[in-house]
Amino acid sequence: MHASTSRSGIRVAYLTLEAPRQGQASYAHVFEIVQGLRRLGFPVDLYLPSYTDAAVQPALLRRFLEHIRLQALLIARFRRYDLVYVRGHNMAFAAALVGRLTGKTFIHEVNGPHLDITVTYPWTRHFNGLLQWLQRTQYRWAQALVPVTPQLQQWLRAEGCSCAIEVIPNGANTTLFNPQCERRASLPDHYVVFFGGFARWQGIPVMLDAVSDPAWPKDVSLVIVGDGQMAPEVREAATQYTNLRYLGRLPYADVGSVVAGSMAGLVPKTREDDTDKTGLFPIKLFEILACGVPAVVSDYPGQADLVRAEQCGLVVEPGSAPALARAVAEIAGDPAMRKQMGRRGHELIVRDHSWGRRAEQTADLIERTLSTHSA
């Protein structure tokens, strides 16, 4: 663990029970915020699962026991910290409960509704009531909440949360993601890119269908970077389609070299929950735009609103492979439009959506929350 020169004497513990793995959004969010706060002078200790760097995620029981161990360690050290910042998780209840009993100041970051976990792990639907209660109770006990979309802010109010709720969206590392990134070698001359975790709701099946759709341009390839639940399907598709290239998982610092050389970045998420109510602002959207290339996004609040308002990409019907193929063809066929969209997106991220800006917003919230809670 690391500590730096104190900013206003504020000591912070950052708890994430989800293991942040390179190539997934949680990795960028956790480490960018922690490093950003440290650069601003906050001593931050990061509490994360011991299996974070393991090649394979351990079994459920091992993860559950690690959640208990990690929170027990943090609780034993509560006196070291002025504030605990939690990346929202149903199983962080123990730390929240002891914090409630001891008067410890808590901020929870909210990346989705209570039941997001059931999308990745359908069997947890049998425990919906308990999972909702665990998460809702934590949020109601908190001194501040940090939703990543305006829609999540409204949802939290409807859930009965009366504390300060401040929207701080995701962001992009403009050093690693920018138009000047050196193009990665051995890639197709013309391609669009998807990168991230391979959960089904990321739109993986839609993309795999789109590359074989008649509307998909014959001289444009789909390059996919990442790993996860649907990796076997992606590998199989890469053996079937000559216009599909699968690069596997790449280090976070190397992804920008793939994105910057593309014609567009794809964010074709498909959800069956209440996404229309809670919105989407995925990290990959900000990273795509930071590289100066257009984004093709599915039509959900948040990401679609930003793309439309800033004219930095195209919006497509969720779950429609033909619509995605047509969007790729439109961008590929109009270089001038593509260049203008990319320029507008890059300027937007540099101006308003860098991780440096996000760290400043988080630091301000921490200071205001402690000032109010200790008053």
Q: The domain that contains 208 carries what CATH number?
A: 3.40.50.2000
Chain segment 57-98, per-residue pLDDT in tens: 889 899 999 999 999 999 999 999 999 999 999 999 999 999
Task: Point out the residues of the chain with pLDDT beneath 50.
Answer: 1-6
> Are residues 201 and 345 both part of a single domain?
yes
Residue pointed to by tokens 């917003």: 361
Q: Is residue 342 included in any domain, yes or no?
A: yes
Cβ contact 140:176 at 8 Å: no
> Are residues 110 and 198 both part of a single domain?
no
> Are residues 311 and 207 both part of a single domain?
yes
Q: Supply the range of the domain harboring residue 141.
A: 12-170+355-374
> Are residues 64 and 90 both part of a single domain?
yes
Q: Is residue 259 included in any domain, yes or no?
A: yes
Residue 22: what pLDDT?
81
Measured CA to CA, the distance from residue 265 to residue 193 in angstroms comes to: 5
Residue 119: what pLDDT?
56
Q: What's the token pair of residue 286? A: 């900000």
First and final C-alpha spacing in the chain:
30
Q: What angle do CA 143, 132, 121 make, to 5 degrees?
A: 120
Q: What's the token pair of residue 62? A: 């091992």
> Are residues 158 and 205 both part of a single domain?
no
> Are residues 313 and 362 both part of a single domain?
no
Domain count for the chain = 2
Residue 272: what pLDDT?
61
Burial class (CB in 10 A: 0-12, 13-18, 19+), 166: middle
Residue 140: what pLDDT?
97
Q: What is the pTM of this model?
A: 0.87
Q: Is residue 200 included in any domain, yes or no?
A: yes
Residue 21: what pLDDT?
84
Residue 55: what pLDDT?
76
Residue 360: what pLDDT?
96
> Are residues 152 and 260 both part of a single domain?
no
Residue 122: what pLDDT?
66
